[in-house]
Amino acid sequence: MIVQIVLVIVTAVQVNSLELCPIWCQCYSDRATCRDLFSEVTGVTQHGSHSGIRRIQAIGSTRLELEEDLFQRRHITYLTSLDLSYNNITKIWQRAFYSLADLEELDLSGNRITTLHPQTFYYNTGLFELLLAWNSITELHQSTFRNNSWLSRLDMSGNKIISIHPDTFIHNMVLKELYLNGNSITDVHQSTFRNNSRLIRLYMSGNKINSIQPDTFVHNTALEWLDLKGNSITDVHPLTFRNNSELVFLHMSGNKINSIPPETFIHNWKLGVLSLDRNSLTNIHESTFRNNSWLLFLDMSGNKINSIQPDTFIHNTGLMYLDLSGNNITNVHPATFRNNSRLTHLDISGNKINSIDQDTFIHNKELQGLYLEGNCITDIPTSSFRNNSRLTSLDMSGNKINTVQPDTFIHNTALEWLDLSGNSITDVHLTTFHNNSRLRLLYMSRNKFNSIQPDTFIHNTALERFDLSGNNITDVHPSTFRNNSRLTHLDMSGNKLSTIYLQTFSSNRELQWVDLQNNTITHIHPSTFRNNNKMEHLDLSSNLLTVIYSNTFQYNVNLKFLSLRNNNILDIIESGFLSGINLTYLDLSGNRIRYLDNSVFRKQGQLETLVLSGNMLQSLEPGIFSNCSNLRKLSLF
């Protein structure tokens, strides 16, 4: 009997819910999704009360420009949440929301609103979240939010606002989050946020602000997150953040700041993230961060700093991420990072550093990423990384290093990514990488190697990507890659290789991408790639090949890209040339081909690009491309 009563009640509620749901909506409990709200308001008969609906999400287009309370007319007056985002709204009548006295959340983002009447939200006194982002609003009247005293979150980002009146937020005393980013604001009066003592997050990035007055944030004692990046600020007064002791995140990157007074952050002892990158700083006083012992992330990249004093980071014992890249630093004192034992990421790339002392990183035992590329370093002491056993990424590319000692990486057993490209290294000892069994990515391109010892990479069994391009290597022993069974990408282009031995790639069954272009290879044995059935990309262009034997690629069933351009391939290309493969790209240009067998492309139904220009073709057999149904680009002459 009790079960029957419950079923009757549930059924009655469901029926009643359906009866109360507007015909242009889909309802569930107290929520409704409505398409093209108010699209046909003329001649609409009065419907019954929809008092059960509390939350509406409107999709399509909503008309709010008519001078009528359409929510009252449709009997939808008890809403607490209204989502009108991306509804093609261009104009809102000043009393459009008059009857929505219970409204707490209103989303008008992503529309095309250009102006707001000062009384638009006057009657929504309980509103605590208002989203106006991504419209085209150019101006805000100072009294727009005067009756929204409970407003907690206000988003006006991505508009075209050029100025904010000092009294705009004077009545929003419980405001916690304010988004003004992505506008065209040029100036912020220092009294603008005077009544917003509970403000926690303030976003003003991507505007055109050129200065911040010292008292602008003096009343925002609860402020934790402040974003000022991407403006045109040239100067920061040392008292600007004096009352913001709760500040954790401070972003000032992408401005035009040329100096930071030493006292600027002295009161922000909880500061955890500080971004000063892409400014015009030339110098950082060694006491600047003395009170920021909680600092975890510090970015000063892309400035004009020419030196760092040894005690600059001495008080930042919790620092984990430090970026000094893209400056003009010429020297790093070996004691600079001595108190940063928790440092995991250090970037000093793109400077003018010419040497690294062997003790520079001795105290950074947690270091995982170290970036030294793009400097003028000529030598790396053997013991430089002896205490960095957790190092996983090391970039020393684009320097002037001419020698790497055999024991340089002996302690870096966790190393996965190593870049030595763009140096002047002439030789690598065969034991150099013996302790780096986890190495997955190894880049040694654009050096001066003329040979590689066969056992150099024997212990790098995890190696996946390997770049030896742009060297002077004349010969690769057939056993060089025998233990690199996980290798997927291999680049040996731009060397002086004349021969590829039959066994060179026999152990590399995972190989997918091979580049051998710009060498002097004269011959490819038909079985050279027989074990590489996963290969998708093969470039043999700009060599001295005179012939490609039938069935050379028959085992490469996944091959999609094949380039043989600029060789000396002569005479006939027969049908067996492409046996077993189904390409999408084939380049045979710049050879001496005189004849193509009429069946050579018969099984190339997936071919999209075919380049045959620069050969000696006199004619083509009729229907030679008839099976190439996907061919989009064909170059013949």
Band (574; pLDDT cuts 50, 70, 90): low
Strand partners of residue 346? 322, 370
pLDDT surpasses 60 at 633: yes
pLDDT surpasses 80 at 576: no
pLDDT surpasses 50 at 43: no
CB 454 within 8 A of CB 481: no
Both tokens of residue 53? 């609906």
φ, ψ at 181 (rounded to 5°)? -70, 155
Nearest residue to 322 (alpha-carbon basis) of 266, 261, 275, 264 = 275
Radius of gyration of the chain (CA): 34
**Superfamily holding 306-445:** Ribonuclease Inhibitor (3.80.10.10)
Buried b (16+ CB within 10 A) or exposed e, 96-113: bbbbbeebbbbbbbbbeb
Residue 222 burial by CB count (10 A; 0-12/13-18/19+): exposed, middle or buried?
Answer: middle
What pLDDT was estimated at residue 618? 83
Distance between CA atoms of 247 and 252, rounded to whole angstroms? 13
Distance between CA atoms of 382 and 410, rounded to whole angstroms? 9
| Strand, coil or helix: 2 | helix
pLDDT surpasses 70 at 390: yes
Domain ranges (residues) in the chain: 1-124, 306-445
Band (575; pLDDT cuts 50, 70, 90): low
φ, ψ at 274 (rounded to 5°)? -135, 120
Summarize pLDDT for 506-537 with one digit per residue, the tens.
999 999 999 999 999 999 999 999 999 999 99
Buried b (16+ CB within 10 A) or exposed e, 511-529: bbbbbbbbbebbebeeebb
Please name the fold of domain 1-124: 3.80.10
Summarize pLDDT for 478-497 with one digit per residue, the tens.
999 999 999 999 999 999 99
Which contiguous run of DSSP H or E holds residue 585?
strand 585-587
Distance between CA atoms of 70 and 244, rounded to whole angstroms? 45
* Percentage of residues in the chain having pLDDT higher than 70: 94
pTM metric for this prediction: 0.90
592 contact partners, CB below 8 Å, separation of at least 6? 568, 569, 570, 571, 615, 616
pLDDT surpasses 90 at 18: no
Nearest residue to 517 (alpha-carbon basis) of 534, 538, 500 = 538
- Considering only 166-175, 404-413, 570-579, which range has the smallest mean pLDDT? 570-579
Distance between CA atoms of 440 and 456, rounded to whole angstroms? 15
- E strand residue ranges, 365-484: 369-371, 393-395, 417-419, 441-443, 465-467
pLDDT surpasses 60 at 498: yes
How does the average pLDDT of the chain come out, rounded? Answer: 93
Hey, what's the torsion of the CAs at 225, 229, 232, 234, to 10 degrees? Answer: 60
Pairing of strands 537-539, 570-573: unpaired
Buried b (16+ CB within 10 A) or exposed e, 24-42: bbebeebebebeebbeeee
9 contact partners, CB below 8 Å, separation of at least 6? none
Summarize pLDDT for 313-353 with one digit per residue, the tens.
999 999 999 999 999 999 999 999 999 999 999 999 999 99
115 contact partners, CB below 8 Å, separation of at least 6? 91, 137, 138, 139
pLDDT surpasses 50 at 212: yes
- Considering only 62-76, 374-388, 510-524, which range has the smallest mean pLDDT? 62-76
| Strand, coil or helix: 227 | strand
| Alpha carbons within 13 A on the beta-carbon side of 546 | 2
Distance between CA atoms of 15 and 30, rounded to whole angstroms? 14
Nearest residue to 319 (alpha-carbon basis) of 296, 335, 346 = 296
Distance between CA atoms of 494 and 519, rounded to whole angstroms? 6
pLDDT surpasses 80 at 42: no
φ, ψ at 55 (rounded to 5°)? -130, 130
Distance between CA atoms of 247 and 57, rounded to whole angstroms? 36
What pLDDT was estimated at residue 188? 97
Distance between CA atoms of 99 and 73, rounded to whole angstroms? 10
What pLDDT was estimated at residue 51? 65
Average pLDDT over residues 29-57: 74
Evaluate whether 1-124 and 306-445 have a shared fold.
yes
SS (H, E, C) 359-396: CCCCCCCCCCEEECCCCCCCCCCCCCCCCCCCCCEEEC
What pLDDT was estimated at residue 572? 62
> What number of helices (H) and strands (E) belong to the chain?
2, 29
8 contact partners, CB below 8 Å, separation of at least 6? none
φ, ψ at 491 (rounded to 5°)? -120, 115
Strand partners of residue 592? 570
pLDDT surpasses 70 at 46: no
Other Cβ atoms within 10 Å of 623 Cβ, number:
11
Band (619; pLDDT cuts 50, 70, 90): confident
φ, ψ at 265 (rounded to 5°)? -110, 20
Chain position carrying tokens 């600092």? 295
pLDDT surpasses 80 at 44: no
What pLDDT was estimated at residue 21? 81
Write the CA distances from 122 to 99, 115, 117, integer angstroms.
11, 15, 10
What pLDDT was estimated at residue 579? 82
pLDDT surpasses 60 at 11: no
Distance between CA atoms of 188 and 93, rounded to whole angstroms? 29
pLDDT surpasses 70 at 159: yes
pLDDT surpasses 80 at 20: no
